[in-house]
């Protein structure tokens, strides 16, 4: 399909790793940041889309005070990321505002890329990237700002994603299998639909399971897509920050980290998930163990209500405990 956005003139634009939450994007992020050319912060930025939606409110970015306001908004949105996950630059609002203004960074994407480029140079890297899974829902916004960007969409079996979501259900507000299936399906289908509008040198899909079972082939495929040389350093597991933050990324890839749903999901949970997302599972090459018959609308409505009620309850509880 022809894209409405210009194709990259050269493969040196930013790299965005996206996908449904709990799909292994952090594992890929840590492997790819080992590349001698590629700088990837070790967390998730989260501020691109809020800045996109509110860009008009910052006024004329040729004025240094307005650049400072943008940087302050970044900090208020993503303080932990800016303080702990940038390993090549210190996030000092006043100093950065002066430097970005002097460099002629007078648009929102220029300010953002200026920050990430400084971080990359501080790490001795030539190219920057970002891993924030939910940006998969906003690919065209990213490409409006960064038309030479490349997108790596990581996809994991939704049943394993559901298990992982249940382990952090309060963080993601996912409290039952029906809703988990809809949640996963919405991400992967939106990513594929948006990716289908892009040329093949700008968007690629990779299954998490293929990364685990054929790691060298998968990383070579990614490097070819990115126009970067393959490097054996990609599989280094040397710690770059506190191992307690994301302990699994400091271990070698393990093929048995896929298919856990077969033993850890109940038959009822498998049936529920496949009844909602069976078609999408098949589209991405995952086998079903049930007919995948869609649930009645009343059943789906009941589970959506159940999830909504629990979400509201836990939000009220958090506020009360804060």
pLDDT-based confidence at 5, cuts 50/70/90? Answer: very low
Distance CA 82, CA 94 (A): 14
How many angstroms separate the CA atoms of 280 and 258, rounded? 18
Secondary structure letter of residue 153 according to DSSP: E
214-234: pLDDT as tens digits:
999 999 999 999 999 998 889
Q: Report the pLDDT value the prediction gives residue 156, as an integer from 0 to 100.
A: 98
The whole-angstrom separation of Cα 45 and Cα 136 is 13
**Is 255 or 314 the better-scoring residue by pLDDT?**
314
- Cα gap 176→179, rounded to integer Å: 6
| Angstrom distance (rounded) from CA 177 to CA 267 | 12
Residue 150 parent element (H or E): strand 150-155
Please compute the mean of the pLDDT values over residues 240-261 and round it to a whole number.
71
Mean pLDDT, residues 238-251 taken together: 60
Provide the pLDDT for residue 315.
86
User: Can you tell me the distance from the alpha carbon of 196 to that of 29, in angstroms, rounded to the nearest whole number?
Assistant: 23
Cα–chain center distance at 176: 23
Confidence class of residue 38 from pLDDT cuts 50, 70 and 90?
very high
Closest CA to 202 of 155, 156, 153, 131: 153
Round to whole Å and give the CA distance between 314 and 31.
Answer: 35
- Exposed/middle/buried for 272, CB within 10 Å: 0-12, 13-18, 19+? buried
88: tokens are: 């090549």
Task: Tell which residue, 256, 261, 253, 257, has the closest CA to residue 218.
Answer: 253
**Backbone phi, psi, residue 260, to 5°:** -65, -25
Rounded Cα–Cα distance for residues 91 and 126 (Å) = 19
- Select from 89, 109, 99, 92 the least CA-distant residue to 64: 99
Name the least confident of 46-60, 96-110, 236-250, 267-281: 236-250
15-37+126-158+183-257 CATH:
3.40.50.300
Is 249 a residue whose pLDDT tops 60? yes
Flag whether pLDDT at 4 surpasses 60: no
Mean pLDDT across 271-285? 96
Closest Cα partner for 180 from 265, 245, 297? 265
Summarize pLDDT for 161-210 with one digit per residue, the tens.
999 999 998 888 999 999 999 999 999 999 999 999 999 999 999 999 99
Please indicate whether residue 227 or residue 249 has the higher confidence score (pLDDT): 227
pLDDT at 238: 63
Domain ranges across the chain = 15-37+126-158+183-257
pLDDT at 73 over 90: yes
């Amino acid at each position: 399909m022809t894209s409405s956005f210009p194709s990259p003139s050269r493969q040196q634009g930013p790299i965005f790793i996206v996908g449904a939450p709990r799909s292994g994007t952090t594992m890929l992020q840590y492997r790819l940041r080992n590349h001698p050319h590629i700088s990837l912060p070790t967390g998730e930025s989260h501020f691109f889309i809020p800045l996109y939606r509110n860009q008009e409110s910052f006024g004329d970015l040729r004025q240094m005070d307005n650049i400072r306001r943008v940087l302050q908004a970044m900090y208020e949105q993503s303080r932990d990321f800016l303080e702990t996950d940038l390993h090549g630059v210190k996030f000092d609002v006043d100093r950065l505002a002066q430097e970005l203004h002097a460099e002629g960074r007078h648009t929102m994407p220029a300010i953002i890329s200026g920050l990430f480029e400084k971080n990359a140079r501080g790490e001795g890297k030539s190219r920057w990237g970002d891993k924030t899974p939910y940006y998969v829902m906003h690919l065209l916004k990213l490409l409006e700002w960064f038309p030479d960007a490349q997108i790596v969409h990581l996809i994991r079996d939704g049943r394993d994603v559901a298990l992982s979501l249940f382990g952090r259900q309060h963080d993601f507000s996912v409290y039952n299998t029906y809703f988990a299936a809809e949640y996963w399906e919405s991400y992967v289908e939106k990513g594929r639909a948006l990716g289908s509008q892009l040329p093949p040198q700008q968007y690629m899909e990779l299954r998490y399971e293929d990364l685990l079972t054929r790691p060298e082939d998968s990383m070579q495929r990614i490097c070819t897509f990115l126009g970067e040389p393959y490097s054996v350093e990609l599989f280094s597991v040397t710690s770059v920050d506190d191992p307690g933050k994301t302990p699994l990324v400091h271990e070698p890839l393990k093929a048995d980290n896929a298919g856990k749903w077969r033993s850890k999901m109940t038959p009822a949970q498998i049936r529920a998930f496949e009844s909602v997302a069976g078609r999408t599972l098949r589209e991405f090459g995952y086998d079903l163990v049930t007919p995948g018959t869609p649930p009645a609308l009343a059943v789906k409505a009941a589970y959506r209500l159940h999830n909504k009620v629990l979400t509201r309850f836990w939000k009220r509880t958090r506020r009360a405990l804060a």
